[in-house]
């Protein structure tokens, strides 16, 4: 593992994203996460999974520098499906997955967190989907999961303005379960994970399976459409301008093409 660390103690598996400085979710990070989940899935000693980020952030988003190596919209759509499939697997995982968020969970970072069964945050954490500020759109099912948690109105505001909300606001909106001072986040995350780890694995598996019956009928169609549009927007002049501006550290000049 190049960008992930993981260990198991007291029936809790801790996965740490360690791709400084921003813990960006490159395709390699996604592939490593899939491999870790393979091992955890087979480990009967693990009953709960906790995901958090090393350093200043949970994850500040997808790896924009990797975007510059993608040649066309079809490849960009394939990247979207890589993340979508992994996050769908997480959402359907037979063991509870908790996201412990500090610093920022933006773009792909928030999409990862939304694929977990629930989220714990610091009070000052920033959570958002700022892709439109780059002339892009979310690609890892963010357009489908965010409205489910916060409602259509707030999701529209967050997506269209690119403005994140704080950890406290995320709890108020239903996006996160609890907000803590930063120094208390992991302590409380492990406390809750420990409570779950004492429960029957059979009962836990049954509860998580039943959650899947609550999915809207059009979720998968929406996710697939998101992947297609993800590639189309990437190929647009505005999409390329947004990526270039980000790399160049300047304001983008969008022209609507």
Catalytically annotated residue among 32, 91, 111, 123: 111
Strand bridging mode 4-9 / 12-17: antiparallel
Going through the chain in order, the beta strands assigned E by DSSP cover: 4-9, 12-17, 48-53, 97-101, 104-106, 118-122, 126-128, 165-166, 178-180
Q: Provide the residue count of the chain.
A: 257
111 is catalytic: yes
Q: What is the three-class DSSP state of 3?
A: coil
Query: What is the per-residue DSSP string for 121-178?
Result: EETT-EEE--GGGGT----SSHHHHHHHHH-HHHHHHHHHH---EEHHHHHHHTS-SE
Catalytic-labelled residue, pool 32, 91, 123, 131:
131
Question: Is 209 among the residues known to form the active site?
Answer: no
* Residues assigned a catalytic role: 111, 131
């Amino acid at each position: 593992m190049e960008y992930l660390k993981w260990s198991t103690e007291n029936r809790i598996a801790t996965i740490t994203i360690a791709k400084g400085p921003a813990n960006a979710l490159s395709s390699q990070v996604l592939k490593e996460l899939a491999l870790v989940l393979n091992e955890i899935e087979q480990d009967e000693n693990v009953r709960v999974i906790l995901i958090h980020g090393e350093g200043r952030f949970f994850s500040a988003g997808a790896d924009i520098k990797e975007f510059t190596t993608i040649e066309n919209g079809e490849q960009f759509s394939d990247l979207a499906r890589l993340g979508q499939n992994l996050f769908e697997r997480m959402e359907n995982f037979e063991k509870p997955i908790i996201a412990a968020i500090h610093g920022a969970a933006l773009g792909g970072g928030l999409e990862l967190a939304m694929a977990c069964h629930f989220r714990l945050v610091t009070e000052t954490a920033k959570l958002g989907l700022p892709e439109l500020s780059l002339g892009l759109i979310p690609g890892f099912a963010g357009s489908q999961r965010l409205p489910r948690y916060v409602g259509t109105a707030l999701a529209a505001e967050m997506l269209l303005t690119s403005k994140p909300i704080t950890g406290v606001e995320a709890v108020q909106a239903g996006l996160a379960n609890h907000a803590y001072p930063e120094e208390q986040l992991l302590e409380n995350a492990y406390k809750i994970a420990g409570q779950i780890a004492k429960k029957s694995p059979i009962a836990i598996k049954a509860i998580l399976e039943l959650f899947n019956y609550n999915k809207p009928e059009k979720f998968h169609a929406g996710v697939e459409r998101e992947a297609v549009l993800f590639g189309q927007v990437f190929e647009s002049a505005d999409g390329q301008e947004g990526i270039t501006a980000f790399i160049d550290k300047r304001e983008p000049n969008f022209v609507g093409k």
